[in-house]
Structure 1
Amino acid sequence: MPLTSRTRALLPKAVRSLRRALLAASSLCLIAASGPMPAEPLGIGDRLFPHLGNPGYDVMAYDLAFTYSGNNSEPLPTVTTIDARVTDWLEQVNLDYSHGTVRSVEVNGVPAEFRSAGEDLVVTPAQRLAPGSRMRITVGHDSDPTPGEDVESGWVRTEDGLAMANQIDAAHRIFPGNDHPSDKAIFTIRVTAPDAYTAVANGLPLEAVRHAGTTTWAYRTEHPMATELTQVSIGRSSVPHRSGPGSLPVRDVVPSKDREKLEPWLKKTPEQIAWMERKVGRYPFETYGLLIAEARTGFALETQTLSLFERELFTHPEFPKWYVESTMVHELAHQWFGNSVTPRTWSDLWLSEGHATWYEALYAEETADRPLETRMREAYRASDTWRAAGGPPAAPKAPESGRRISIFRPNVYGGSALVLYALRQEIGRPAFERLERRWVRIHRDGTATTADFEGLASAVAGRDLSAFFTAWLYGKKTPPMPGHPEWRSVAPAEKGAKHARQPSTTQTKSTR
C-alpha cells in the first residue's frame, strides 16, 4: 500500500526512526525492518465506487494474453503485464482483481509475494518502489468466465464463445489492473484459440500466428483506453471489412451463419460515422465496428472501437428501423463522448450518457422524422420523477445494494440529454455546436469532469453559466426550460406508472 501520511501516523515513533536509519545505511526495503504489512483493499475515493482504482501509480500500458480452450465454461490461462509509473513510495501495490486463481506475480522481473484482500490483489515487491520509477508487474492467473455472486457482467458467454462487458467494474473480474476510468492506458491483447475460432479485440490487428491447431491473434490500441471499455470477442465469427470516412478501417464481428442477414445493418455504419463527424469532428480512433453477439445481456455497450450489441436487436422484426439505427448511433457517439473524452469519476457519467442520448435523439429527428422537441418535452415531464428516484444528473444516487450497474437510471440518459437541450436553448444553437466540437477536441484521449464542461461552456458562451449548471445538474427539481416556460414536470406523487419509463428510443439500461 502507499506510504501515505495516514499510514505514517499509525507507526510508533521508534519504528519510524529505525526505518529512516535503515534507509540511510542500505537499500533494504522497509518491509525487512518491520515485517510484512497487512493486506487491505484500497480505492481512490470515487464517490459512487470508493473501492475502485488504487493510489500510488499510473498505468501506461497493459499486455493481456489469454488462452482459450474452446470451452466457454473453462478458465482461460492468462498472463497480464502492467507497465506503470510510480507516483508515491510503494511498499505494496494494490491491483483490482477478484475472480480467478493467481499463480505467480513478478515485479520488475523479480518474484513478489501476493495476497487477496477484498476485491484487491495486494503485491509486495522485493524492493519498495520510488516515485518517478517505472514498474512492470507480471501476473500469471486464470480468467474465469463463469458467473460469481453479485456479478452482472465481465465475460459474457455467447452461443459460440466469449465476449466482454466490463462496465462499471467487471474488468477486474477478468484481469488485474487499475479498474477506474481515470487511469487510461494503451492495451495490447493476445488471444490463442483453436483454429475454428476467430479472436478480435480493441484496436488494430498486429499479427495472427498459426501453431499446430491453434492461432494466436494480437491487437493493439493506438489511443489510451479505460479498463471498462476493453473488448475481446472469441467465436465462430466472420469479420467483414469496409471503409469509413477518410478511409477509416471499419470491421465488424458477427456470427458466421448470420453474416448475410446482418449485412444490411452493418453497411449503415460508414454513413453514421460521417453524420457524427459533421456534428462534432473527426472520428477519434483508429478503427470502428460492431460486435454482434449471440447472447442475452439486456444492453448494448460502447466498448472502444468495437461496440457490443445483442444479435436480437437486428433480427427481431418488432424493433422499428429507426429504433435500431438510433441505438447504433448511441454507441457510436460514445466513441467521442465517454471513450475518447472519458468521465474522470462515475459521478461525471452524465457527460457520457447524456451526450450519447442527445445524438441518438438528434439522429432520429434528422433521419426518421422523430422530433427532438417532442422527446425533450416528454423527458421534461418525467424529469422530477427521475431526479427523485436517481438523483440529479451530475450527483446520481449510489447504486442499489448488489446491483452496481443500477446507476444507469433515466436521470443519466434522458435527464442528462434534457440538460443539453436546455443548454442549447440557453446559449443558442451556434454556440452549443461550437462547444461540442471544442469539447471533444480539447479533451481528446483524456479524462474530464463536470467542472471542465461548465468552464468551457461559459467560455464559449462569453458569460458565467454557473447558476444555470448548478440548477440543471444538481437541483432536486427541474428548472424552467429556457424558451418553453409552459413546459411542466409532473411531481412524483402525481405521476402514474405510465410515465415512469424513460421516453427514449431505448429503454433504461438497453444502452450504456
Structure 2
Amino acid sequence: MRFRSIRGTAVTAALCVAMSAQLTQPVLAAPEKSGEPRYSAGSASVGDPYFPNQGNGGFDVQHYDIAFSYDPATKHMDATTTITALATQDMDQFNLDFQGPEISALSVGKHPADFRRDGQELIVTPRPKVKVGETFTVTVKYAGTPPVITDPDGSIEGWVPTDDGAFVAGEPQGAPSWFPGSDHPTDKATFTFHATVPEGLTAVGNGQLLSKTTKDGRTTFVWDSTEPMATYLATVTIGNFQVNETKTSAGIPVYTAVDPRLVSQSAATVARIPEIVDYLSSVFGPYPFASTGAIVDRAPNVGYALETQTKPIFSSSPSLGTMVHELAHQWYGDSVSPTRWSDIWLNEGFATYSQWLWTEHTGGITAQQTFNNSSNYGRAATSAFWQTITADPGPVDMFGSVPYNRGAMTLHALRGKVGDAVFFPLIKGWAAERKFGNASTRDFIAYAEKTSGMDLTNFFDVWIFQKGKPTTW
C-alpha cells in the first residue's frame, strides 16, 4: 500500500456486521408461482468494519470501461463508465459506490433506470429487474469536478488535481471519486480506460497502452488492464511526463512516466526497475502481470506513494527502498489482495520485508540486522509501538508503522522459526496459490501451518493478535 515516512477483534466485528446486514434485508415476498424469481435488493455493502459503506452485494463486477475527458485548467471531467457485472441474486435494486460529479443519465442494459444518491451510495432501480446468473451492464454518464477524499489518518486521495493534471490514487476509499463501482478489494475486475486530455499532456493508466490518437488539440489514450484488479489500485494519472519504454530481462514491458522537474533526481532509481523486478521474481515467483513500470509525479500535497497495479505512483522523487516496496506490492497487495482492510499487514509486511531482503541482496546490512535495529525489535518494550495489534490496527493506523514494521518482523520471525528451506517456498507458493485473488490473515496462517507442518498458533498469537513486545515464539 501507501508508503510514507509513516502515515501517521476484526474477524468478530466483520461477522457481526455481515450478520446485521443479513438481518436488515427486506423480508422476501413469496413468489406467485413456483419457480418464479424472488427479487430483493442487493446489499449496500460487504460489511468491512473499517469502511462500512464499501462494496456491494447481489452482483460481481467483471469489467469497467471508463471513458472521460479532463481539462486541468478548469478541473472539469466529462465521463461515461460502463460496468459489466454478473448477478448473484434476483435483484429489484442494487447499489454502487460513487462520490463523483453529477449524474446526467443512468441505464441498465438498454433501458433507462431510476436512481438516487445517498452519500457514497448510488442506488439503482433497474427496469426490467435483473435475474440471478444474468450478465448485465450499467452505464453512468456524469460531469463536473471529481472530489478529493480525506482519509481517517488525514491524508488525501482520489482525484487530486496537480498544477499540470491530476494525481489519481485510490487506497483505501478514493476510487469512487472518479468512477462508480463496487469499491472493495474483494470485487476485482478488468479495466479499460479511454482518457482524453489536452494535446501535450500524457494520461498514464494501468496495464498496456493500446492506442494514442490526437485530434483537434486533444489526445486520447486507451489503456487496457487485462488481469483482475481491485478498484483502489486503478489510476489514470495526467500531467507533463517524460516517457520511457524498456523491458526486463524476462521480456516484461516497462513503461515509466516521470515529471520533467523530477527526472534528474529520479533517474537512478527508475533505471533500476528492471533489476528490481528480476530480483523480486527470483524470491517471490514470476511477476504476476503483463507489464510493469512507474509514474513519478509532482503532487506535494499528497506525500506518499501507492502500488497502483502495474505502475506504482509516486508523489515525489522516490528512494530506491520505496521503489522496491511498491514493486513488491505487485505480488502482495495487488495480485494477492486483502479480504478485509484489517488484513493490511499482509500487504505492508511483505512489501517492507522485501526492502530488508533487497538491502541484504545489494550488499547492505542483513535482514536480521534490520530486524534488530531501533526501528524494529530494538524498540523498548515500553514503546507505544507495541500497543497496536498488527492484525487489527484500525482505520486510523492502518498505514502507520505497525502493519509495515511489525508485519515485516512477523515474516522474519516466521523465517527463523520454520527455516529458509521452508520459508522461501512458502512465500513463493502463497503468491502463486492466491494469484489474482484475496486472502485473510487466517488464510495465511492456515497456509503457513500446512506448508511448514507446524502448529503456529502461539507464534501468530504473540506476533499479530496480541499487544506487547514478543519475547518467546
Residues 387/165 of structure 1: CA separation in 2 closer, same or farther (3 Å cut) = same
Check whether the contact 1:472–1:479 (CA below 8 A) recurs between aligned residues.
yes
Q: From the superposition, tell whether residues 48 and 85 of structure 1 become closer, same or farther in structure 2 (CA, over 3 Å).
A: same
TM-score normalised over the length of structure 2: 0.88
Alignment-derived partner of residue 361 in structure 1: 356
- Within the candidate set 340, 343, 350, 1:348 is matched to 343
Instruction: Give the strand-richer structure, 1 or 2.
Output: 2
Distance in 2, matches of 1:410 and 1:326, equals 15
Equivalence for 1:333: 328
Contact 2:103 2:142 in 1 (8 A): yes
* Structure 1 position 256, deviation (Å): 3.7
Q: Which of the two has higher C-alpha Rg?
A: 1
CA contact (8 A) 1:342 1:447 kept: yes
- Among 25, 29, 32, the alignment partner of 1:7 is 25
Answer yes or no: is the 8 Å Cα contact 1:245–1:273 preserved in 2.
Answer: no
- How many angstroms does 1:332 deviate by? 0.6
Q: Secondary structure at the match of 1:348?
A: helix
- Distance in 1, matches of 2:390 and 2:191, equals 31
Structure of greater relative contact order (alpha carbons < 8 Å, 6+ residues apart)? 2
Whole-Å separation in 1 of the counterparts to 2:277 and 2:121: 39
Q: CA deviation at 1:358?
A: 0.3
Is residue 299 of structure 1 aligned with residue 300 of structure 2? no
Q: TM-score, normalised by structure 1?
A: 0.82
2-structure distance, mates of 1:473, 1:304 = 27
- The Cα of 1:421 is off from its aligned counterpart by 1.1
In the other structure, the counterpart of 2:67 is 65
CA distance in 1, matches of 2:145, 2:329: 28
For the Cα contact (< 8 Å) 1:143–1:173, is it kept in 2? no
- Residue 46 of structure 1 deviates from its aligned partner by 0.8
The alignment covers a number of residue pairs equal to 446
Structure 2 SS opposite 1:102: strand
Q: Does 1:236 align with 2:240?
A: yes
Q: Please, which of 49, 52, 65 is the counterpart of residue 50 of structure 1? A: 52
**Counterpart check, 1:447 vs 2:444:** no
Q: What does 1:8-407 correspond to in 2, within 5 Å?
A: 8-9=26-27, 16=29, 20-21=31-32, 42-71=44-73, 73-142=74-143, 144-147=145-148, 152-256=156-260, 258-259=262-263, 262-296=266-300, 297-313=302-318, 324-377=319-372, 378=374, 379-382=376-379, 385-386=383-384, 389=387, 391-397=388-394, 399-400=395-396, 406-407=397-398
1:423 positional shift = 0.4
1:427-478: per-residue Cα shift (whole Å, max 9, x none)?
Answer: 0112110101101111111111112211111122122222322232201223
Q: 1:185 to 1:143 in 2, by over 3 A?
A: farther
Secondary structure in structure 1 of the residue aligned to 2:92: coil
- SS of the residue corresponding to residue 7 of structure 1 reads coil
Equivalent position of 1:424 in the other structure? 415
Q: CA deviation at 1:285?
A: 0.7
Mapping of 1:483-494 within 5 angstroms?
Answer: none
**Deviation larger for 424-433 or 364-373:** 364-373
Kept after mapping to 2: 8 A contact 1:386/1:411: no
- 1:5 & 1:262 partners in 2: Cα distance? 53
The structure-2 alpha-carbon separation of the partners of 1:8 and 1:354, relative to structure 1 and needing over 3 Å to count, comes to same
Secondary structure of the residue that 2:333 maps to in structure 1?
coil
Structure 1 residue 410 displacement after superposition: 1.3
More helix by proportion, 1 or 2?
1
Deviations 1:122-172 (A, max 9, x none): 011012212111121000012624536767210122231112111001101
Alignment check: 8 A CA contact 2:150 2:157 kept: no
1:510 paired residue number: none
Q: Deviations over 1:375-418 (max 9, x none)?
A: 212312438645555x3111223x24xxxxx4212110001111
Superposed displacement of residue 260, structure 1: 5.4
Matches of 1:442 and 1:24 in 2, distance apart?
A: 42
- Look up the SS of the partner of 1:335 in the other structure: coil
CA distance in 1, matches of 2:386, 2:453: 33
Residue identity (%): 34
**C-alpha root-mean-square deviation of aligned residues, in Å?**
2.5
What does residue 501 of structure 1 align with? none
User: What residue ranges of structure 1 are gaps of 5+ in the alignment?
Assistant: 32-36, 314-323, 401-405, 483-512
Amino acid at match of 1:45: G
Does structure 2 conserve the Cα–Cα contact (< 8 Å) formed by 1:386 and 1:410? no
1 CA distance for matches of 2:417 and 2:212?
A: 53
CA deviation after TM superposition for structure 1 residue 372, in Å: 2.4
- For 1:505, the equivalent position in structure 2 comes to none
Aligned to 1:509: none
AA partner of residue 379 (structure 2): A
